[in-house]
């Protein structure tokens, strides 16, 4: 993950973790507390993720996406996930990074650690359908569409 991807992670409010269960059924779940730990490591707090955790135990391959809803662009990360429990020597360091985002009111049960193997941009079709589309235009259009304004 380069600096652009890390910045996008820092700006994102939610990410979406895609897993697959033992029968091959996909599952996508929003995650609120997440960050990176290295150029190839993404951390996601397991707060209320029983299905994601169960799926990772069967199939470690995952996909995570995050998109700025106003810019309408972001990234898709693929990789291998593992669950790091409190008795793991890495847990305290990873927890410290996640606690920078959320205090003790968020009961982090374990940490989903993803070794990122690929990064792909996610962009709204407007960016490639209309070559002159700018980020500012996308944001303005989104603000109008969602009927919101900037403070």
Per-residue pLDDT of the chain (151 residues; tens, 9 = 90+): 999 999 999 999 999 999 999 999 999 999 999 999 999 999 999 999 999 999 999 999 999 999 998 889 999 999 999 999 999 999 999 999 999 999 889 999 999 999 999 999 999 898 888 889 898 888 888 888 888 887 7
Quote the pLDDT of residue 128: 87
Could you tell me the residue range of the domain that residue 15 belongs to? 3-124
Q: Flag whether 144 is in a domain.
A: no
CATH number of the domain residue 31 falls in = 2.30.110.10
- Check if the beta carbon of residue 35 is closer than 8 Å to that of residue 43: yes
Structurally, how many domains does the chain consist of?
Answer: 1
Q: Note whether residue 130 is domain-resident.
A: no
Are 30 and 87 in contact by the 8 Å Cβ rule? The answer is: no
> Has residue 78 been placed in a domain?
yes
Residue 150 domain flag: no
Q: With respect to residue 99, please indicate whether it lies within any of the assigned structural domains.
A: yes
In a domain, 40, yes or no: yes
The confidence score (pLDDT) of residue 145 equals 85
**Residue 82 domain-assigned (yes or no):** yes
In a domain, 146, yes or no: no
- pTM, full prediction: 0.90
pLDDT at residue 117 in the model: 98
């Amino acid at each position: 993950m380069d600096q652009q991807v890390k910045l996008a992670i820092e700006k994102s409010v939610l990410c979406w973790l895609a897993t697959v269960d033992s029968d091959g059924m996909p599952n996508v779940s929003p995650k609120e507390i997440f960050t990176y730990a290295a150029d190839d490591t993404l951390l996601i707090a397991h707060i209320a993720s029983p299905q994601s955790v169960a799926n990772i135990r069967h199939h470690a391959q995952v996909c995570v996406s995050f998109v700025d809803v106003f810019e309408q662009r972001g990234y898709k990360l693929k990789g291998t996930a593992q669950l790091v429990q409190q008795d793991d020597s890495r847990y305290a360091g990873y927890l410290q990074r996640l606690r920078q985002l959320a205090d003790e009111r968020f009961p982090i049960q374990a940490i989903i650690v993803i070794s990122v193997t690929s990064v792909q941009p996610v962009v709204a079709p407007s960016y490639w359908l209309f070559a002159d589309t700018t980020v500012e235009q996308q944001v303005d259009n989104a603000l109008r569409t969602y009927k919101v304004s900037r403070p």
